């Protein structure tokens, strides 16, 4: 955890453009993927702490500003600053390294309750995952990557091309199906989404599929009529299986910062989200949004994405995320 301070002191700043070998472990890729967030956030805090001989309220206020700038959000920032202030008052923080350690621990405390991996019970097949989100969030690509992840766990997977508004989305899902050798249930563009997913569930039952991953059309969280369509999909699917869908997975684009939180609140309010996948963490300095989402929603963060490769979407591990953010060792 102290690597960042040491490197700053030595003037050895890590370049944002550093590359990681293709076969590097996911923790290394996570560190690389969070480079932009680290540069604007933890590196900034390290600069603030560097050379400080005394710890005072002005320092805590400066850290607070840095947290808000990194899209950590008001609620999460207040929790972090309150904890640091209390420790400072109790004389528990005696040097910059102690502040950095305390901050890291408190950030883990926010994220750890949301570290709930997606589990597929063998007693519940087919397990239906309804994937929702706005256009451009990486929804269809995320489905392809999750399908690959599930295959690695020896699950039989079926895809449903429920985004019938865009012919490109249907084609994209079919490409993912071919790549992973997974069947795809699709109809013509403009077909009824609920009908497509209903047919896919029927097929999944017949084929004894373990997991049905259903795509849906991207929509803005403010489009009420499209939210009603998602409710219709849930009603129709429940006619075949009263317990389905078993997961409503919301895909969020980290690069849009606080707007991602607003989307999550609206989707959850409208249709009931049971899990979140956060994508595009590698292309943004706004990775701090994960703390705002965790603090306000307290929903399981199932997956995070830090690259375009098929295995760059992995289950969320809170300690690894914070460690990578602070350039700590695994």
Rounded-to-integer distance, Cα 187 and Cα 286, Å:
37
Domain ranges of the chain: 3-13+22-114, 127-317
Residue 76 in tokens: 């999460």
Rounded-to-integer distance, Cα 320 and Cα 313, Å:
14
Q: Which residues of the chain are under the pLDDT cut of 70?
A: 1-24, 51, 53-54, 219-224, 328-330
Confidence at residue 314, expressed as pLDDT on a 0 to 100 scale: 92
127-317: CATH topology is Rossmann fold (3.40.50)
Rounded-to-integer distance, Cα 64 and Cα 32, Å:
25
CA 168 to centroid of chain Cα atoms? 24
Confidence at residue 252, expressed as pLDDT on a 0 to 100 scale: 96
Rounded-to-integer distance, Cα 301 and Cα 266, Å:
17
Same fold, 3-13+22-114 and 127-317: no
What are the CA-CA distances from residue 282 to residues 4, 212, 216, 265 (Å)?
Answer: 19, 28, 25, 23
Rounded-to-integer distance, Cα 271 and Cα 293, Å:
17
Rounded-to-integer distance, Cα 182 and Cα 162, Å:
16
Q: Note the CATH architecture for domain 3-13+22-114.
A: Up-down Bundle (1.20)
DSSP output for 133-173: --TTS-HHHHHHHHHHHHHTTT--EEEE---TT-HHHHHHH
Confidence at residue 51, expressed as pLDDT on a 0 to 100 scale: 67
């Amino acid at each position: 955890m102290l690597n960042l301070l040491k490197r700053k002191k030595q003037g050895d700043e890590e370049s944002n453009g550093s590359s990681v070998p293709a076969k590097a472990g996911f923790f290394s890729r996570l560190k690389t993927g969070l480079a932009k967030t680290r540069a604007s956030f933890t590196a900034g805090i390290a600069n603030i702490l560097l050379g400080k001989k005394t710890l005072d309220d002005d320092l805590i206020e400066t850290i607070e500003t840095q947290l808000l700038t990194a899209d950590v959000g008001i609620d999460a920032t207040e929790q972090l600053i309150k904890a640091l202030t209390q420790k400072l008052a109790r004389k528990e923080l005696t040097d910059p390294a102690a502040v950095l350690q305390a901050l890291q621990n408190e950030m883990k405390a926010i994220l750890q309750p949301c570290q709930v991996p997606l589990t597929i019970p063998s007693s519940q097949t087919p397990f239906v995952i309804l994937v929702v989100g706005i256009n451009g969030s990486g929804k269809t690509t995320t489905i392809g990557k999750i399908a690959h992840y599930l295959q690695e766990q020896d699950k039989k997977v079926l895809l449903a091309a429920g985004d019938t508004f865009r012919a490109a989305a249907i084609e994209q899902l079919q490409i993912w199906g071919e790549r992973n050798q997974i069947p795809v249930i699709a109809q013509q563009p403009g077909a009824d989404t609920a009908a497509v997913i209903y047919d896919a569930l029927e097929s999944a039952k017949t084929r004894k599929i373990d997991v049905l991953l259903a795509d849906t059309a991207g929509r803005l969280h403010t489009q009420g009529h499209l939210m009603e369509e998602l409710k219709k999909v849930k009603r129709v699917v429940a006619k075949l299986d009263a317990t389905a869908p078993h997961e409503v997975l919301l895909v969020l684009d980290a690069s849009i910062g606080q707007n991602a939180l607003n989307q999550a609140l609206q989707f959850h309010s409208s249709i009931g989200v049971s899990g979140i996948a956060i994508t595009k963490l590698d292309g943004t300095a706004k990775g701090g949004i994960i703390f705002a989402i965790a603090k306000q929603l307290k929903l399981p963060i199932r997956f995070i994405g830090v690259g375009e490769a098929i295995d760059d979407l992995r289950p969320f591990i809170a300690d690894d995320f914070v460690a990578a953010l602070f350039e700590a060792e695994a």
